Structure 1
C-alpha cells in the first residue's frame, strides 16, 4: 500500500513549479500503477497553453473558477468546482484561471509521468523525463 500526504509532498522534488502553475505529483510512473496522479494549482489571472501530444489527461476541478478553450474550434468551457474535462484527443487548449482565486485540480495522466516534466515552448510534456523518488 502507498500512503502519502499532499502537505508532505509539497516540500519535496515531487512538487514542480512554473510561472503560472504548481503540480504535486502524488503518484508517478515508478509507483507502477499505470497512471500518474497530481494535484495541480493554476495561479489566478493566468493563461496556460497546453498540448499533451504524448499523454492523455483527465482534469477534475476541486476549487476555483476559470475556463478551458479548445484551440481547434475556439470553444470555451467554464470550469468550476465539480467540473471534469478529459483530453482524450491530445487536445491543444488554453487553460485560464480567473482573477482572484487559484484553481486546484486533481489530474490523472496516461501514460504516467516520471516526475520532472514541465511544459516545453509548445505546451508539451516529454514522453520520458527525469524520475523522482
Structure 2
C-alpha cells in the first residue's frame, strides 16, 4: 500500500515548478501503478499551450476557474470545480486560468511520468527514453 501526504510531498523533489504552474507528483512511474497522479496548481492569469503527444491525461478541477481551448476546433470549454476533461486523443490545447485565483487540478497521466518532466518547446512531455 502506498500512502502519501500532499503537504509533506510539497517539501520534496516530487514538487515540480514551471512557468505558470507547479505540480506535486504523488504517484510516479517508480510506484508501479501504471499511471501517475498529480495535484497541479495553475497560477492566476496563466495561458499554457500544451500538446501531450506521448501521454493521455485526465484532469479534474478541484478549485478555481478558467478554460481549455481545443486547438484543432477553437472550441473553448469553461473549467470550474467539478469539471473533468480527458485528453484522450493527445489533444493539442491551451489551458487558461482566470486572474482572480489559482486552479487546483487533480491529474492522471498514462504512461506515468517519472517526476521531473516539464513541458518541452512543443508543449509535450518527453517519453522517458527521450529524456536527456
- Give TM class, smaller chain: over 0.9
Residue 63 of structure 1 is matched in structure 2 by: 63
Residue 42 of structure 1 is matched in structure 2 by: 42
Residue 31 of structure 1 is matched in structure 2 by: 31
Tell me the matched-pair count.
130
Residue 16 of structure 1 is matched in structure 2 by: 16
SS at match of 2:8: helix
Q: What is the TM-score normalised by the length of structure 1? A: 0.96
Q: Which structure 2 residues correspond to residues 1-133 of structure 1 after superposition, within 5 A?
A: 1-128=1-128
2: CA distance, partners of 1:50 / 1:82: 22
Structure 1: 4+ residue segments shifted above 4 A: none
1: CA distance, partners of 2:110 / 2:90: 11
Q: What is the TM-score normalised by the length of structure 2? A: 0.96
SS at match of 2:125: coil
Question: How far 1:19 sits from its partner (Å)?
Answer: 1.6
